[in-house]
Amino acid sequence: MEGDRIPWAEDGIYLPERPSFTLDPAFHAGAYYVQEASSMVLEEILKQVVNLKENLLALDLCAAPGGKSTHIQSLLSDGSLLVSNEVIKTRANILAENLTKWGFPNVVITNNDPSHFDRLNVQFDVIVVDAPCSGEGLFRREPEAMNEWSPEAVKLCATRQQRILADIWPALKPGGVLIYSTCTYNSLENEENLEWLSEQLDAEGISINLNDDWGFAETETRGIKGFHAYPHKVKGEGFFIAAVRKNDGFEKKLRKQKKPMNFASKQEIGTVSQWLKEPEQFDFIKHNDLFIALPNQWKEVIHDINSNLYIISEGIDIGRLKGKKLIPNEGLAFSTALDHNQLSTFELNLEEALNYLRKENFNFEAMNNGWNLITYQGLGLGWANRIQQRVNNYYPTNWRIRISS
């Protein structure tokens, strides 16, 4: 894609027009993610407040549909772990689809209330809270949002935001960083919440400096800097962001879990790991009949999360065994850990790829018998299984494209 660079996001670009992403197979393959430019300033904030070269335990608390999680994941080191959470079940499923297609193995997707994270035996190095808000920053893009705005709604949002912050604060380790953001303008949901953080949770500000040429308006509340993006000054929609450090609290110790993990046998590992680039980096467990690969340095932390929270997915969902044959899971097709050289791949052109994504017929005469990774421009789209003169399309039905052109 071509466009002007977004100065505060290294890989971000402004699109000159909005194409039909639905009809671009590369979008469905997780080659890129579309989000609002102002919110991408999260990248610059993260670079200034944490050492991204370290192996961090990070939490994106209000993560759906996945823009900030995919962005954060792209910035974290390969040895880090991101927990991406969404409290609303239907939105959590959308989050899971988008992060599955993003393809990184060091992600856990959860569906929990913020208060539930206090159950964990571990604490996070960094927590991002993109809080539900009154949405004043979206009025230009979505004028109908003005009909839902009221002073009472603003007060309700501010109270809810404080509850979210209070509930998640114990899950942040001492010295850890919390990044707070909204897509609204008013001081009640922004500066006054920073004041509340300072007074009630003893949060302290962090030195942050943004380039003046970018147009963000700096504000300061009790030593905590915040930054507003106003559409007439920043090339983007309305946004607010700030970062604080935790002074007090105690660091939890990881306790032994009561319920042991169900590890795969050596024989099973030999089969389920055959298509991975570096299988030695993973531990393989079974959840019912699904085999999952967990980054071995985080398996105890993931087990702690799994024991105390509701998990949608963790690591790489490899697939199931039928006899001695692997039936691959859809998530494996997108994984950055998948070695395309170890399996049969079948490349499609644009028209064929769109037919595959619609679960319609496409030309498979040259396809090998057995399991094939379906690709478009070398990107994994999903699986198909050829059995003689027929082919079974394993693209998930609930993901399929429903428009013709």
The question of whether 183 is a catalytic residue gets the answer: yes
pLDDT tier for residue 1 given thresholds of 50, 70 and 90:
low
pLDDT tier for residue 248 given thresholds of 50, 70 and 90:
confident
pLDDT of 140 reads: 81
**Domains detected in the chain:** 33-245 (3.40.50.150)
**Does residue 257 have a pLDDT over 70?**
no
pLDDT in tens, 362-398: 999 999 999 999 999 999 999 999 999 999 999 999 9
**Does residue 193 have a pLDDT over 90?**
yes
Dist CA 263 CA 251 (whole Å): 29
pLDDT tier for residue 252 given thresholds of 50, 70 and 90:
low
**Does residue 86 have a pLDDT over 80?**
yes
Dist CA 102 CA 100 (whole Å): 5
8 A C-beta contact, residue 320 and residue 290: yes
Dist CA 239 CA 248 (whole Å): 29
pLDDT tier for residue 3 given thresholds of 50, 70 and 90:
confident
Dist CA 322 CA 356 (whole Å): 25
Residue 267 backbone dihedrals phi, psi, to 5 degrees: -65, -40
**Residue ranges of the alpha helices (H) in 313-372?**
350-357
Residue 206, H or E segment: none
pLDDT of 254 reads: 58
Residue 340, H or E segment: none
Closest by CA position to 277, among listed 228, 214, 342: 342
Q: Which positions make up the binding site?
A: 62-68, 86, 113, 130
pLDDT in tens, 94-142: 999 999 999 999 999 999 999 999 999 999 999 999 999 999 988 888 8
pLDDT of 404 reads: 78
Q: What is the mean pLDDT of the chain?
A: 95
Q: Which positions make up the binding site for S-adenosyl-L-methionine?
A: 62-68, 86, 113, 130
pLDDT tier for residue 144 given thresholds of 50, 70 and 90:
confident
Average confidence (pLDDT) over 136-153:
85
Dist CA 345 CA 382 (whole Å): 10
Q: Give the bridge partners for 31, in sequence order.
A: none
pLDDT of 137 reads: 87
Lowest-pLDDT choice from 58-72, 169-183, 189-203, 245-259: 245-259
Average confidence (pLDDT) over 181-193:
97
**Does residue 174 have a pLDDT over 70?**
yes
pLDDT in tens, 22-54: 999 999 999 999 999 999 999 999 999 999 999
User: Of these residues, 183, 244, 305, 316, which one is catalytic?
Assistant: 183
Average confidence (pLDDT) over 304-310:
95
pLDDT in tens, 57-82: 999 999 999 999 999 999 999 999 99
